[in-house]
Amino acid sequence: MMDLYSNDHILTLVPGMTPERLFAFLEARLVIPTVEPTASASIQLFTPLDVARLRFLCELVDDLDLDERTLGVVMALLDKLHAARHDLRCLACAIEAEPPDVRTRIGLALTRLKS
């Protein structure tokens, strides 16, 4: 089972994190936690990936003094880059599963397109 972290855990795990900063990141939807209903209310829980993302956001603010709008642009570009890398890995796996003659033709086509 994956570890999940509460807001209080985030405040201790992420250097430079404050309640106000966490609230701002959540309001800007720079990180979207899992919401777990409880008997009295709902609690937000963060995955290890969310924790890493929050650390990175704090570093961008503290080290580069980026504002909320710029953070949104940077994170959107980073998310697109990760999605493109995932798609490329999937494509590479699909090509690898093809017979050698098909892989050769694809390789030749890629070489032509690059030049």
List, as one string, the DSSP characters of 86-112.
HHHHHHHHHHHTS-HHHHHHHHHHHHH
The alpha carbon of 76 is separated from its chain's Cα centroid by a whole number of angstroms, namely 9
| Residue 75 lies in domain | 68-115
Shared domain for 62 and 73, answered yes or no, is no
Look at residue 37 in the predicted model and tell me its pLDDT: 80
pLDDT tens digit sequence for 6-51: 999 999 999 999 999 999 999 999 999 999 887 778 889 999 999 9
Shared domain for 23 and 52, answered yes or no, is yes
Look at residue 2 in the predicted model and tell me its pLDDT: 79
The alpha carbon of 53 is separated from its chain's Cα centroid by a whole number of angstroms, namely 6
Shared domain for 10 and 57, answered yes or no, is yes
Shared domain for 3 and 46, answered yes or no, is yes
pLDDT tens digit sequence for 45-98: 999 999 999 999 999 999 999 998 999 999 999 999 999 999 999 999 999 999
Domain count, the chain: 2
Helix (H, G, I), strand (E, B) or coil at 17: coil
Structure tokens given for 112: 């032509």
